[in-house]
Amino acid sequence: GRAPAMTTFGDAWAPLASSPTAFNALADALGVDSCRFEDVLGLDASLLPARAVAFVVCFPPTASATALLEGPLPQYDDLFVRQIVGGACGTIAAVHALSHAPGFTPPVQWGDRDEGFSLRVLQSMKAAHDVASVATHARPGEPGVHQGRHLVCLARRGDELVWLDGRRSFPTACGPCSAEAFVETAAAALRGLVAAVQAETPDAVFSVLALTAREPPPRGLLPALGAGLDDLEDFGSFASAFLGPSADARDTREHERPAKCPRSD
């Protein structure tokens, strides 16, 4: 069956584009720099980034997709935010993904999964969401206007693969998953979601983002320039001083995807 209707509080938000630029702008605004979002170009395990820690998928929420996302409560129960504000599913999927990033600091103290907790989380992220919603060249979506798309997170918690869908009351487990097999197991789950939707809507449009851990800094470069890693506050300051701004820090809008990025409800 379909997910239960949302109880919403306050005005709807402008939906995020399903774009690395928008999601990385959100991560930056939340102070997370240990991981970056990137486009997934195919769902074979060999095409997914090996350093992925979570995935965000944008899809039309058909009846078959909603049924596929049903499941039991995971054994390992952690952060879960409910979508109680329209247009916020992209931000909720992003924070669910970012909760798996090294060094992630929760926007508020985690509490019980109730509407009051989810509302506090969303209120704490509103400013970051507003920055991310206008970070791309795509025309911003209209708040409160149905987009026909929904975003959810797929991640590993404990030894299970878990769907994190803010429209539901709790996360749902979709099978066992080891750390070593996460990318391969997630690829199979993503292919299953695509197949379920396309069986009902053959021309459905999807997009998938991977949240990937950054590569460790190349320590061998430092002695060649007469600097030790311990003398630097962080490698980012070293890179800025000697190499200039990183590609992530520069404005990459000219590389943004065409104007019709899928947006969420």
* Percent of the chain scoring above 70 in pLDDT: 69
Question: Whole-number mean pLDDT of the chain?
Answer: 78
pTM (2 decimals)? 0.76
Selected residue with higher pLDDT from 167 and 107: 167
DSSP 26-44: HHHHTT--SEEEEE----S
Q: What is the pLDDT of residues 141-185, one digit of tens each?
A: 666 566 778 999 999 998 999 999 999 888 999 999 999 999 999
Q: What is the pLDDT of residues 170-225, one digit of tens each?
A: 899 999 999 999 999 999 999 999 999 999 989 998 999 999 998 766 665 444 44
pLDDT at 57: 96
Four-point Cα dihedral 122, 166, 38, 20, nearest 10: -50
Residue 241 scores a pLDDT above 60:
no
DSSP 175-206: EE--STTHHHHHHHHHHHHHHHHHHH-TT---
Residue 14 scores a pLDDT above 90:
no
160-164 β-sheet, strand order: 35-39, 207-213, 52-59, 150-157, 160-164, 172-176
